[in-house]
């Protein structure tokens, strides 16, 4: 069943000594189809990892039959909501693309987790934001995303400059309104709003046409 909710598992035994033993971890896994794909493979590897780290696994969030391109995912949405409720300190996933649909989506989620004091671990990419290396990767990803946004904005500005240089008119095309038609409708007692609605323009445009400003 798509977006099937899985029950919270019992806390795994603490088997590794360390300063982060009291961290509560949750896993997130996802498969795109209900046939031929099994999220258990991802979940099993995450459980084993948490066991090695000595983290208590206090929740599992599994989206089944949910495309990675979808804006909303029931279990991921529930995970984010529980993060705000401070129900755990670590989110562990099998791979970036199981969790985020894009780099920008990943960065937004990581920024949210960082603000909430929640660490993020991806097993396949070997990224752990609680380590110096993980923090560096997060910073690099942020810089790449910012560079990408800057390049896109610069391409848009360059395109606008090029269009202006060629004499092209930018913005919405001007709607031509017949002043005589506006005057006739006004003579019938219609308000500027009603006139604009009838002619498919704003009330201000209808008024300007009547006054000869267009």
Q: Which amino acids are annotated catalytic? A: 32
Q: Which residues pair with 29 in a beta bridge?
A: 62
Helix, strand or coil for residue 122? strand
d(C-alpha 4, C-alpha 2), whole Å = 5
CB 93 within 8 A of CB 61: no
CB proximity list for 50: less than 8 A, separation 6 or greater: 12, 25, 27, 56, 57, 92
Residues 100-116 as b or e (16 or more Cβ within 10 Å = b): beeeeebbebbeebeee
Burial of residue 13, with CB atoms counted within 10 A of its CB: 0-12 exposed, 13-18 middle, 19 or more buried: exposed
């Amino acid at each position: 069943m798509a977006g099937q909710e899985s029950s919270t598992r019992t806390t795994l035994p603490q088997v590794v000594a360390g300063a982060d033993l009291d961290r509560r971890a949750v896993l997130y896994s996802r498969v795109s189809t209900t046939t031929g794909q099994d999220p258990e493979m991802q979940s099993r590897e995450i459980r084993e990892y948490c066991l090695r780290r000595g983290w208590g696994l206090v929740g599992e969030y599994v989206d089944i039959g949910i495309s990675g391109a979808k804006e909303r995912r029931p279990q991921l949405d529930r995970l984010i909501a529980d993060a705000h409720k401070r129900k755990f300190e670590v989110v562990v996933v099998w791979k970036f693309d199981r969790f985020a649909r894009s780099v920008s989506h990943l960065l937004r989620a990581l920024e949210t987790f960082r603000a909430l004091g929640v660490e993020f671990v991806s097993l396949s990419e070997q990224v752990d934001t609680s380590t110096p290396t993980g923090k560096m990767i997060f910073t690099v990803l942020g810089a790449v995303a910012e560079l990408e946004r800057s390049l896109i904005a610069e391409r848009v500005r360059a395109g606008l400059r090029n269009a202006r240089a060629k004499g092209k008119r930018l913005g919405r095309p001007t709607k031509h309104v017949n002043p005589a038609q506006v005057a006739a409708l006004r003579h019938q007692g219609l308000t500027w709003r009603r006139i604009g609605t009838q002619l498919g323009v704003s009330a201000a445009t209808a008024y300007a046409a009547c006054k000869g400003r267009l």
